Chains A and B, each alone.
Chain A
Amino acid sequence: KAGVTQTPRYLIKTRGQQVTLSCSPISGHRSVSWYQQTPGQGLQFLFEYFSETQRNKGNFPGRFSGRQFSNSRSEMNVSTLELGDSALYLCASSLDFHNEQFFGPGTRLTVL
């Protein structure tokens, strides 16, 4: 079974731009979660989608948004990028509720 894939793997953007990251979960997994990982704040939950509906949302500003498609693939969007948005963005898929999460390799975003 193929693992979780994320594209692109690396991105460099400048302040004020917007970015879209993509995640393809493991086949059959309907839950997709997004996390931001930084050295200072650690792993922080952004949002979770299940069957195209946002099921949970973390404490991030509205500049961070996401969506899930009918094939369970998910995208997250960050608008008006700030320097502090530089981070590793990790996507994780799960079969269902309170199950182990399978993480993708992440997208390393650098904002200049």
Chain B
Amino acid sequence: GQQVMQIPQYQHVQEGEDFTTYCNSSTTLSNIQWYKQRPGGHPVFLIQLVKSGEVKKQKRLTFQFGEAKKNSSLHITATQTTDVGTYFCAAPTNNAGNMLTFGGGTRLMVKP
């Protein structure tokens, strides 16, 4: 079945440093979604990328979708302690609904 690989699993950064997490799929994706889960919380939708080569920004967060629509990345500039949490990418498993395959997540820890 479809697999979405996400690296790294964990990342410790000093506050103010940048952070990037990557997602890769062996198959072409129709779209990719990104979610953030704070410790003890539930996943919260961040963004959806649909077009090949798409780049979207949300304040300090930059999301990219690869040209081949097989990979994606999330980059955070100048991390803050509020960025702490696990970031997941997720992609539709099929074209018949909302079944998502989630990446394993990258847990971001920020040292103040």
- A residues less than 8 Å from B25 (CB atoms): none
Q: Does B102 contact A (CB under 8 A)?
A: yes
Closest Cβ of chain B: how far from A108's Cβ, in Å? 10
Encoded as 1 (CB less than 8 Å from any A CB) or 0, chain B from 22 to 41 comes to: 00000000110101000001
Cross-chain pair count, CB within 8 angstroms:
67
- Quick one: which of A16-45 are within 8 Å of B by CB? 31, 33, 35, 42-45
Please classify the interface of chain A as helix (H, G, I), strand (E, B), loop, or mixed, using the class held by over half of its residues: strand
- In the complex the two chains form, is B30's CB within 8 Å of A42's CB? no
A25 to B5, alpha carbons, bound, how many Å? 29
Complex CA gap A104/B90 in Å reads 17
Contacts A98-B92, A100-B48; A45 near B101 (Cβ below 8 A): yes
CB of B43 within 8 A of CB of A31, answer no
Binding site for A on B (CB under 8 A): 1, 30-31, 33, 35, 41-45, 48, 88, 90, 92-94, 96-105
